[in-house]
Amino acid sequence: MSLCFNITNDLRELYSRMVKLAPNPAVFVEVGMSLGTSTQLLRKIIEANKKTIKQYVADDFRGPLGNRHAMDAIKNQYNGDLFPHFLERTKNCSQKDLTIIREPPYLGALQFDDESIDFVHICQNYYDEFRRCLQFWYPKIKIGGYMSVDVNGQWHNNLSQCFYQEIGHDFVTRGESFFLHRKKESADPKRIWFSSNYNPSPATQTITIVPNEEFTPHPILDNCSCLNISNKKDYEREVVINPFEVEHFNDVDLFKIRILCDHMHWKLTAIGTENYLPVLGTFADKVILIADMPRETMECFYQHEISVNRPSATIMGLLKSDPNFVDITRETYAPEKNTALLQKALAEISDDEVIRRWSSLNVLIKQSAYNLFKRMEQTGDVIRNAIFVEAKENTKPRVAIKENYFNAQVIGKDHQWQKEMVNRLGFNYMSYQILSSLLLNCHYIGIAGSARLFSVLPIKAIVLSDYNAHPTLEHIMRGFAIARYGKEKGMRLPIVIANHTDETTVDIFDEYHVQEIEKLLPLETNVQVVAWDATKSQLRLKKHL
């Protein structure tokens, strides 16, 4: 059992007890302590107890994410950087025993071996940053070592719930301002990328070019075509879905539905407009493509409210009258309202199974779309090595990106480029996005619905931010990224922000974060372009699952 401390809001009491219990020598880490007061306090307690404890501080010294103005009075004295203030506060600490890791707080964990630290104290008031710190630092604590977290203030309930979800209720001693947890066993092995030993084989992203003649007319509906991706015949039932009818409310849960259908021997048929062939073909056994959405609707993609994949009500009514049709729109705030299929997929399919089976993606591109892209490439009518922004007009992050510090060319901040390309490309627009990312080394920033869409495409995303994203989106995307880009870059990009406010995302585009992002670019991944072989389509699909 854990030791039963009566921890109050007294940091001195917490540190004193940890120092007395620590072996000699030991390793202590403070995470997110940017002002230096607690660091100086801990050093004094260590010296008073005559212990040999190596002390580390991991922080970017930018102030709390999502609330950068909280320390403006101090930051203004140091041109927006808290690091000089920290150095001033800790000038009496021996540099021999104090090491500063100046990185985003969670990334400091990458400098430690698993189970090498005796005590970690985390102070992060923003939910996503707090969760990341728990995930990254917990594997680094020794068996029998301790983790304490500051859960004081307005975020107390949110951070408490996050702690329970990531670490659990067992062996936790709770005080007014701190949780103290003693680690009894190794980190959950199901969280595959948390471990230092997780080094997957490099993933390969496959672009399969499908001849136009493979798309056959729908037997009943005009302006609809069908593509059979799997040749399997002995399904136990068929499930028909339209994942993007109203908005991009589904993301990585689509992969879980695909895996569940495999387990149950169900055929998965996906409905959507022609623009969505690449994403629908990634996980479906059959796609039904609708070509009746007018061009003016395509142009509305960049307005605040738009049904991005909704064809005419008449056609959708007929398709949804299919007895196999299932509504899989995910209810973020009322999960009990999710359909039985979605609930079953989310409950039974683990995130790590998704990571293992979908780090390598196989996207389908129509031959005519690929030919158009190659013609544009040959005539120099494409953009290379750029950063594309996909965000709705009313989002504050989009405004923040206008004032960004990127050195690379940034496209799409005012949506003018997208509107011009939609006019030119029509239903080939998504194919162009994927091809430009994989073949022309372009990177993408996704805010809101585009973040959820990009999570199921092999697009090189550097920021994904959406408060409706799947709760474990970051865990899955991190696993994907490590396999696709290698551990050094994959642990850092994309930056995934799920539980956020607009202000939180805005902070990602300050000068410091932009510079850190650009150091990691370009993201490089293995890509192959292959021809469609209808006789092997079933094997192709299974191979890449």
Percent of the chain, pLDDT > 90? 36
Q: Is residue 197 part of a domain?
A: no
pLDDT band at residue 515 under the 50/70/90 scheme: confident
Same domain, 295 and 444: no
Same domain, 535 and 517: no
**What residue has token string 């799947």?**
470
pTM above the 0.85 mark?
no
Same domain, 218 and 127: no
Q: What is the span of the domain harbouring residue 107?
A: 11-187
Q: Is residue 149 part of a domain?
A: yes
How many other CB atoms are found less than 10 A from the CB of residue 379?
A: 8
HSE-up (13 A, CA, CB side) for residue 98:
23
Same domain, 521 and 534: no
**Are 405 and 427 within 8 A, CB to CB?**
no
State the pLDDT at residue 545. 34
Q: Is residue 406 part of a domain?
A: yes
| Cα distances (angstroms) measured from residue 484 to each of 28, 131, 199, 253 | 33, 23, 11, 20
3-state secondary structure of 420: helix
Report the number of distinct structural domains present in the chain: 3
Q: Is residue 199 part of a domain?
A: no
Q: Is residue 101 part of a domain?
A: yes
Same domain, 253 and 183: no
pLDDT in tens, 53-62: 999 999 888 7
289: its two tokens: 């493509």
pLDDT in tens, 184-213: 876 654 455 566 667 788 899 999 999 999
Q: Is residue 270 part of a domain?
A: yes
- Given a cut of 70, is residue 544 above it in pLDDT? no
pLDDT in tens, 121-168: 998 877 778 888 888 898 899 999 999 888 665 445 677 777 777 777
State the pLDDT at residue 303. 45
How many other CB atoms are found less than 10 A from the CB of residue 274?
A: 24
Q: Is residue 472 part of a domain?
A: yes
pLDDT in tens, 318-340: 666 788 888 887 776 667 778 88
Question: Which residue, 187, 219, 234, sits at the end of a domain?
Answer: 187
Same domain, 302 and 371: no
Same domain, 296 and 345: yes
Query: DSSP E strands: which ranges in 211-303?
Result: 216-217, 224-228, 237-241, 266-273, 286-290
Question: Which residue, 124, 153, 187, sits at the end of a domain?
Answer: 187
Same domain, 473 and 508: yes
pLDDT band at residue 107 under the 50/70/90 scheme: confident
**CA dist., res. 227 & res. 288, Å (int):** 7
**CA dist., res. 194 & res. 248, Å (int):** 28
DSSP symbol at 523: P
Q: Is residue 201 part of a domain?
A: no
Same domain, 28 and 177: yes
pLDDT band at residue 256 under the 50/70/90 scheme: very high
**312 Rama class: left (phi>0) / alpha (psi -120 to 50) / beta:** beta
**CA dist., res. 522 & res. 451, Å (int):** 19
**CA dist., res. 531 & res. 229, Å (int):** 13
**What residue has token string 């021997």?**
265
Same domain, 391 and 517: yes
Same domain, 404 and 289: no
SS3 per residue for 110-150: HHCCCCCEEEEEECCCCHHHHHHHHHHHHHHEEEEEEEEEE
Q: How far does CA 428 lie from the centroid of its chain?
A: 26
139: its two tokens: 């594997």
3-state secondary structure of 77: helix
Same domain, 341 and 486: no
**Are 202 and 526 within 8 A, CB to CB?**
yes
pLDDT in tens, 439-497: 999 999 998 888 889 999 999 999 998 877 777 888 899 899 999 999 889 988 998 88
